[in-house]
Structure formats: C-alpha cells, structure tokens
C-alpha cells in the first residue's frame, strides 16, 4: 500500500447513532465532514423539542442524528442519508435536519463527483482542463484540475503541480459571460480564487479560464465550475 493509500484508508466504526465508515487518520478527514453531535440527555428532555408532546411509556423519545435534540416519533421519523458524518445507512433525523441533509446529498451525489472525476454524458475524465494564471503573472499554463480522493485538496497538474488545501481557500469568484442588463443566459467561463499558502498570512490569487480550443471539454469545464461554486 502506498503512502497516499495508507493516509486515505478507512475503517468501520459503530457509534450510538449507527455504523460509520471513517478515515483511519483524522488528518485525512474531508473538510466537508461533520462531527456527531452530543445527544441531549434523556433526563433533560421530558417533552418533544418540536411539538412539546410529553414522553411516556407509549410515546418514546428519539434523538436526531444530526442535531442531537430529542423528539417524538412523529417529529423524528425520517431516515435520510448523512454522508457528512460518514454513516453507512440512512439515519433518523428531525424534519428540519432531514431537509438540510437531503439538499447536501445532491451535492455529494452530483457536484462532488464532478470535482473528483469529471463526467460528461457517459464519459469520465480525470478532472477538467483550464488555463491557469498564478498571481499577477501574464503567463498561463494548461492544467488538469480535480479534487483529491480525500476531498481535502484542489490538485492541479501540468508542467507545474499545485495542491491547494480547500480550507485555505477564502474566496471563489465564478467568471461568466453572455449576461445582458435586459436579461439573457450567461455561462461560466472561469473562476478566480484566493487562498493562503501554509506558513503565510498573505492571500495568493489563481485564475482559471476555460480554453475555447477544447470543445470536447466545454461541458465538463462548465459543470466543474458550477460544482466549485457550490463548494464555495
């Protein structure tokens, strides 16, 4: 097993909330991950925290796996995937948390997969291709961009190689064209991001521009930029 594979290795653990597939090393944890919340102690929760129904032998209490609050079965009946906590199976959540988790599942099922392994129709590509300009330089370099397998780094490969830690990215601006004051469709043609290099407090700028000469990559580039916008 290579060093990278070892760092990305995962293990199956059991918690009071269910089975979770988590990274063996905390340093490999996804920046999109969430810790399991502490549960509100049973003795502090005599009534449902949503509808105020009193708990008794018939009306049992349930804890939402996302917020840790205490609810009756009616207010906490949904079982929804919760990938941000690495649960293997859908878990019980209150109505409010279930709605949030359902929206996030779309991000994990669609946008995140595009960032890690680009897909156009039925074809997969190891990332999206852009002309990348660093700082105030007037020179750009053709690079393939993708998210690392552990979702922690934005990886750029060309003649040069960059790995930008996602948590160090402070701003993401999507560049568009085609918009008119009277309305009309616009399309993403690039992005500008600012990030901090470890050990420095100053922000570094990087500009990504989709190449017009790569018609087969236009859809992927646009999808990749849209997904990156969701991340920000």
Look up the CATH number of the domain holding residue 35: 3.30.40.10
Residues 108 and 178 placed together within one structural domain of the fold = no
Q: What is the CATH number of the domain that holds 212?
A: 2.30.29.160
Residues 27 and 91 placed together within one structural domain of the fold = yes
Q: In which residue are the tokens 């998210």 written?
A: 147
Residues 22 and 110 placed together within one structural domain of the fold = yes
Q: Which residue did the predictor score with more confidence, 211 or 118?
A: 211
Residue 183 confidence class, pLDDT cut points 50, 70, 90: low
Task: Give me the DSSP letters along 162-226.
Answer: EEEEGGGEEEEEEEEE---TT----EEEEEEEEEEPTT--SEEEEEEE--TT-GGGHHHHHHHHH
Q: What is the mean pLDDT of the chain?
A: 83
Q: Is residue 2's pLDDT more than 60?
A: no
Three-point CA angle 21, 24, 29, nearest 5°:
75
Which long-range contacts link 47-51 to residues 24+ away (Cβ below 8 Å)?
48/72, 48/75, 50/75, 50/76, 50/94, 50/95, 51/75
121 found inside a domain: no
Q: Is the distance from CB of 10 to CB of 21 less than 8 angstroms?
A: yes
For every residue of 50-70, which 3-state class applies, written as one string?
CCCCECCCCCCCEECCCCCCE
> Mapping DSSP to helix (H, G, I), strand (E, B) and coil, where does residue 102 land?
helix
Q: What is the pLDDT at residue 121? A: 41
Residues 137 and 168 placed together within one structural domain of the fold = yes
- Hey, which residues does 162 pair with through a beta bridge? 156
18-45 as b/e, with b when 16 or more CB fall inside 10 Å? bebebbeeeebebeeeeebbebbeeeeb
Residues 132 and 78 placed together within one structural domain of the fold = no
Residues with Cβ < 8 Å from 218, sequence gap 6 or more?
Answer: 210
Q: What is the pLDDT at residue 166? A: 87
Residues 135 and 97 placed together within one structural domain of the fold = no
**Model confidence, pTM:** 0.68
Q: Is residue 116's pLDDT more than 90?
A: no
Q: In which residue are the tokens 């916008």 written?
A: 229
Single residue among 82, 116, 150 that ends a domain in this structure: 116
User: How many domains in the chain?
Assistant: 2
Q: What is the pLDDT at residue 91? A: 95
Considering the chain, what percentage of its residues have pLDDT values greater than 90?
Answer: 41
218 found inside a domain: yes
Single residue among 96, 116, 136 that ends a domain in this structure: 116
3 found inside a domain: no
Reported as a single tens digit per residue, the pLDDT across 85-103 is 999 999 999 999 999 999 8
Reported as a single tens digit per residue, the pLDDT across 19-49 is 998 888 777 778 888 899 999 999 999 999 9
Q: Is the distance from CB of 80 to CB of 63 less than 8 angstroms?
A: no
Single residue among 116, 151, 170 that ends a domain in this structure: 116
4 found inside a domain: no
| DSSP letter assigned to residue 40 | P
Residues 180 and 222 placed together within one structural domain of the fold = yes
Residues 62 and 150 placed together within one structural domain of the fold = no
Residue range of the domain that includes 98: 10-116
Q: Is residue 65's pLDDT more than 80?
A: yes
């Amino acid at each position: 097993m290579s060093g990278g594979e070892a760092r990305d290795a995962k293990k199956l653990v059991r918690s009071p909330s269910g089975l979770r597939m988590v990274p063996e090393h905390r340093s490999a944890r996804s920046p999109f991950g969430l810790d399991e919340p502490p549960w509100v102690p049973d003795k502090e929760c005599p009534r449902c925290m949503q509808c105020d129904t009193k708990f008794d032998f018939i009306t049992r209490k349930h804890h939402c796996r996302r917020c840790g609050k205490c609810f009756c079965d009616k207010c906490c009946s949904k079982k929804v995937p919760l990938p941000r906590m690495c649960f293997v199976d859908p878990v019980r959540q209150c109505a409010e948390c279930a709605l949030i988790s359902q929206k996030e599942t779309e991000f994990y099922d669609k946008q995140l997969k595009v960032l890690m392994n680009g897909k156009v129709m039925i074809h997969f590509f190891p990332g999206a291709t852009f002309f990348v300009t660093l700082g105030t330089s007037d020179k750009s370099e053709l690079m393939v961009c993708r998210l690392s397998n552990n979702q922690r780094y934005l990886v750029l490969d060309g003649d040069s190689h960059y790995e930008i830690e996602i948590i160090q990215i402070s701003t993401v601006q999507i560049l568009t064209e085609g918009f008119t004051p009277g309305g009309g469709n616009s399309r993403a043609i690039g992005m500008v991001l600012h990030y901090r290099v470890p050990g420095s407090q100053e922000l570094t700028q990087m500009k990504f521009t989709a190449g017009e000469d790569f018609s087969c990559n236009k859809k992927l580039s646009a999808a990749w930029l849209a997904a990156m916008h969701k991340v920000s």
